[in-house]
């Protein structure tokens, strides 16, 4: 069984904002396999995640999406944790984890279906081991706990991860999930991306003490990590997942990061937070940190930079072109995927809706009636 993390005076950090490494033998050992090649791969993921987010935001601003939840500034928290997962692990996300979706193998062409309003979902969860965006704040914590406990009963050596924000820690669903998971030793990792703002509510109104301490009340280990340090996030998530898979039960990770943009594209953060705060966090940019580390360790060159940019642009092009080409769904598909198993009542409603559509006057008839 993996060692239970202890409470630390400072968040786990392995790379400083200027790219210098931090001497931490305990957590550095958990990412000892990450050499220059692997670090380049992580940097590529970070850039692609940001590029996906930039394109999603632009599409919404251009009227092509109804809504988009930006992840700008939170790339390291998502990439570092997602790259710690095994294929048979299962992710239960909120609505901001496009970077996690990328790491799980979601096709960028599928990432905007829900946000464009052409489907009830974006991707097939079972194909990638990740649920679709959850709009109900905190509900995914219970789903992750139930799935993890069921897998444990079945003898499967897997873990689940529930992603949520600092605001969700004040939701009853998360409290219930923590209690259930701790009581039944469910193999679930609660991953809190503390981006400091729950829409316009600062994190200080969610808790008078660090959020990670909420885990201690449930008898659950918790750890704080620099959420803008991709290596530190990778290390602590690997530790928590190993503990879960080996029967050690749940863990709570509080990744300290910052939402650089709006809560969603329907939000204006300039109305409730100071520009100086964002400027301070801009100096802790997770992408710049890895680039500076690579420069210090001779892992950076112009050719690599161009290759990463080209790959990110290709991903963004696929996301954009697929979004613009998405057809409007046929009205009767409203009944698809509502239940796992069809039943008589659903089929009755489908037939009635089809009859209603058949009786509706077409465009030519509407013109004649006018």
Per-residue pLDDT of 184-237, as tens digits, reads 999 999 999 999 999 999 999 999 999 999 999 999 999 999 999 999 999 999
Catalytic residue among 152, 196, 263, 291: 263
Burial code of 323-351, b = ≥16 C-beta within 10 A, e = fewer? beebeeeeeeeebeeeeeeeeeeeeeebe
pLDDT level of residue 355 (50, 70, 90 thresholds):
very high
> Comparing C-alpha atoms, which of 26, 2, 7, 1 is closest to residue 215?
7
Q: Which residue has better confidence, 67 or 362?
A: 67
The edge-to-edge listing of strands for the beta sheet with 160-165 is: 90-92, 160-165, 188-194, 251-256, 222-226
pLDDT level of residue 1 (50, 70, 90 thresholds):
very low
Q: What is the pLDDT of residue 209?
A: 94
pLDDT > 80? residue 334:
yes
- The mean pLDDT value for 315-329 works out to 97
Catalytic residue among 259, 289, 291, 292: 259
Residues 110-160: tens digit of each pLDDT = 999 999 999 989 999 999 999 999 999 999 999 999 999 999 999 999 999
Known catalytic membership, residue 317: no
pLDDT > 50? residue 71:
yes
Share of the chain above pLDDT 90, in %: 91
Catalytic residue among 216, 272, 339, 356: 272
pLDDT > 90? residue 4:
no
Q: Average model confidence (pLDDT) for the chain? A: 94
Known catalytic membership, residue 343: no
Known catalytic membership, residue 259: yes
Share of the chain above pLDDT 70, in %: 96
Asked if 1 contacts 243 with a C-beta cutoff of 8 angstroms, the reply is yes
């Amino acid at each position: 069984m993996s060692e239970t993390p202890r409470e630390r005076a400072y968040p786990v950090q392995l790379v400083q904002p200027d790219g210098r490494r931090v001497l931490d033998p305990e957590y550095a050992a958990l990412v000892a396999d990450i050499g220059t090649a692997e670090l380049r791969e992580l940097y590529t993921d970070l850039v692609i995640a940001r590029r996906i987010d930039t394109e999603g935001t632009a599409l919404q601003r251009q009227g092509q999406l109804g809504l988009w939840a930006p992840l700008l500034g939170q790339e390291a928290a998502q990439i570092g944790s997602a790259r710690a997962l095994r294929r048979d692990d299962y992710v239960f996300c909120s609505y901001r984890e496009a970077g996690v979706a990328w790491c799980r193998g979601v096709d960028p062409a599928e990432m905007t279906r829900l946000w464009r309003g052409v489907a009830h979902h974006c991707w097939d969860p079972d194909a990638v081991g990740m649920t679709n965006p959850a709009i109900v704040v905190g509900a995914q914590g219970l789903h992750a706990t139930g799935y993890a406990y069921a897998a444990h009963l079945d003898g499967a050596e897997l873990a689940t991860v529930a992603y949520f924000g600092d605001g969700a820690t004040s939701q009853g669903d998360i409290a219930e999930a923590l209690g259930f998971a701790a009581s039944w030793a469910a193999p679930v990792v609660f991953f809190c991306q503390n981006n400091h703002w729950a829409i316009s509510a600062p994190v200080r109104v969610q808790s008078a003490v660090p959020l990670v301490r909420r885990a201690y009340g449930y008898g659950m280990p918790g750890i704080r990590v620099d959420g803008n340090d991709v290596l530190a996030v990778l290390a602590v998530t690997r530790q928590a997942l190993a503990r879960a898979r080996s029967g050690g039960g749940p863990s709570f990770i509080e990744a300290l990061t910052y939402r650089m943009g709006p809560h969603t594209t329907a939000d204006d953060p300039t109305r409730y937070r100071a520009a100086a705060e964002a400027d301070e966090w801009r100096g802790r940019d997770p992408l710049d940190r890895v680039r500076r580390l690579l420069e210090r360790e001779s892992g950076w060159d112009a050719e690599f930079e161009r290759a990463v940019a080209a790959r990110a642009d290709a991903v963004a092009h696929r996301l954009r072109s697929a979004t613009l080409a998405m057809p409007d769904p046929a009205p009767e598909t409203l009944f698809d995927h509502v239940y796992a198993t069809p039943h008589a009542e659903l089929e009755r409603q489908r037939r009635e809706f089809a009859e209603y559509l058949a009786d509706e006057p077409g465009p030519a008839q509407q013109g004649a009636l006018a």
